[in-house]
Amino acid sequence: MEDNYDNELSVGQRDRISIDVSDIREQIEQCRDDVAWSELPLAAKIRVLVKERIAELEADKAKPSDT
C-alpha cells in the first residue's frame, strides 16, 4: 500500500513546475480589481489566467474560418 502512495505522489509532482514570474507578478496582481481576485493566492491567479487563455484559444480554433 505504501508503494501506491509513493507512486501517486511522484505523478502529482511531475505535473508541477516552478516558473519565475518576478517580472510579471505586479501585472498578474493588478489585472483585476475585484475583491475575490485580491484574496486568491498568486498560484491560483496564474491558473485562472492560463485556463481563460486556453479557453479563448480553443474557442478560436472551433470557429469556422472566413477564408
pTM (2 d.p.): 0.72
Report yes or no on 5 lying in a domain. Answer: no
Report yes or no on 9 lying in a domain. Answer: no
Coil, strand, or helix at residue 64? coil
**C-alpha angle 39/40/41, rounded to 5°?**
120
Report yes or no on 3 lying in a domain. Answer: no
Report yes or no on 44 lying in a domain. Answer: yes
Coil, strand, or helix at residue 40? coil
Report yes or no on 48 lying in a domain. Answer: yes
The count of domains in the chain is 1
Write out pLDDT tens, residues 33-64: 999 999 999 999 999 999 999 999 999 999 88
